[in-house]
Structure 1
Amino acid sequence: MKFSIATIAGFAIAISAASLPAAFTLVGDGGETVLTDGTNAYVGGDTDKNHEILILRSGSNGMISFTSKNSTPTGFQNLYIIPNTVEPIALTVPHSGATPKGASSNNFGVNDEGYFTHNGNAYFAKDGYGESKVKELYWYGEHSSEYEAANLYVKECKGC
């Protein structure tokens, strides 16, 4: 069997590409750990009775899951975005994989710079430029001047 140089180069790129750790958190610009209220993702807040650190687990086909510290082990939720829109990064309802029409819950990853991606794109943003310390995170699938770009770094969570 013969392989072209392009085919061999493609294999080398696929092998050397960064991959998501088994368990990880996301960290925004300025070192802000991403939190969740069990429905959406936020930066700039503190953990409290309504917000906990968003500890994610990678699965097959780039699927990402989250299990709240207050949930049963089977109460996991899947992370999803809605491509070609500006909508909040969201989690499914516990015990359900149901997502809105057009949502994508697979093809998440990490690029060579360590940014969290979907289909290889790190198109994430945070809610506006207002005074609020806590900012909701969005998938930035189309342009909108109401949102500020947000890099989300993947940080391995050992012992999670």
Structure 2
Amino acid sequence: MKFSTATVAALASAITATAASLPERFSLVADDNSAVLTDGQYLYIGNATSADHVPVVLTANSAGALTYLADGAVPTAFQNLYIVENSVAPAQFTVPHSGNMPEGANMTGFGVNEDGQLTHGGNAWFAIDGYGEAEEKTVFWYGAHNSEYMSAYLTVKEA
């Protein structure tokens, strides 16, 4: 399949426009009004904050990349949020001082839809393992079908 230059430019413009609508700094809230937390590697839904699990505050740029900087970390220790496309895998952060990601991962193209939900490539395909009893649920990117997971809409709240 071939795409014209105009089609590619329009797609890039749409992705940038979607990402540009994100606030510069924001936090995330789950469907049940609980904060979305991080341990510096993964995102979690749950209210069990501790020294290891804190509410995530993200910074957006014009390419739709989202960065996280842990409290007390040096400014160069920022981490980028990424998803692994076409899979069901945890949404996670790069290691500080590294942009290393697995094959199929993407850290740009995040945005917000008209309902205020975090998206990637225009899709709000985030999910949690819907059948466990854990108080804290890991947030997954739901880029492939798997009936074990249920949708988890992450609402963007300006920080």
TM interval, shorter chain, is 0.7 to 0.9
Secondary structure at the aligned position of 1:74 is classed as: helix
For residue 38 of structure 1, what is the aligned residue in structure 2? 40
Amino acid at match of 2:57: I
Secondary structure at the aligned position of 1:78 is classed as: strand
Q: Normalising by structure 2, what TM-score?
A: 0.86
Shift of 1:49: 1.4
Cα distance between partner residues in 1 of 2:72 and 2:55: 12
Amino acid at match of 1:19: S
For residue 137 of structure 2, what is the aligned residue in structure 1? 135
Q: How does 1:45-124 map to 2 (within 5 A)?
A: 45-124=47-126
Shift of 1:81: 0.0
How many residues are paired up? Answer: 146
Amino acid at match of 1:131: E
Q: Extract unaligned runs of 5+ from structure 2.
A: 1-9
> Deviation digits for residues 64-100 of structure 1, max 9, x if unmatched?
1000013111110000000110000000000111111
For residue 7 of structure 2, what is the aligned residue in structure 1? none
> Deviation digits for residues 43-80 of structure 1, max 9, x if unmatched?
11322111111100001310110000131111100000
> Deviation digits for residues 96-134 of structure 1, max 9, x if unmatched?
111111100000000111010000000000123211111
Cα distance between partner residues in 1 of 2:127 and 2:27: 17
Cα distance between partner residues in 2 of 1:84 and 1:24: 26
Cα distance between partner residues in 2 of 1:145 and 1:133: 20
Amino acid at match of 1:77: Q
For residue 149 of structure 2, what is the aligned residue in structure 1? 147
Cα distance between partner residues in 1 of 2:96 and 2:48: 23
Q: Extract unaligned runs of 5+ from structure 1.
A: 1-9
Cα distance between partner residues in 2 of 1:32 and 1:140: 20
> Which deviates more from structure 2 when the two are superposed, residues 45-54 or residues 130-139?
45-54
Amino acid at match of 1:73: P
Amino acid at match of 2:66: I
Shift of 1:38: 0.6
The root-mean-square deviation of aligned C-alpha atoms, in Å, is 1.9
Amino acid at match of 1:70: G
Percentage identity across paired residues of the two chains: 49
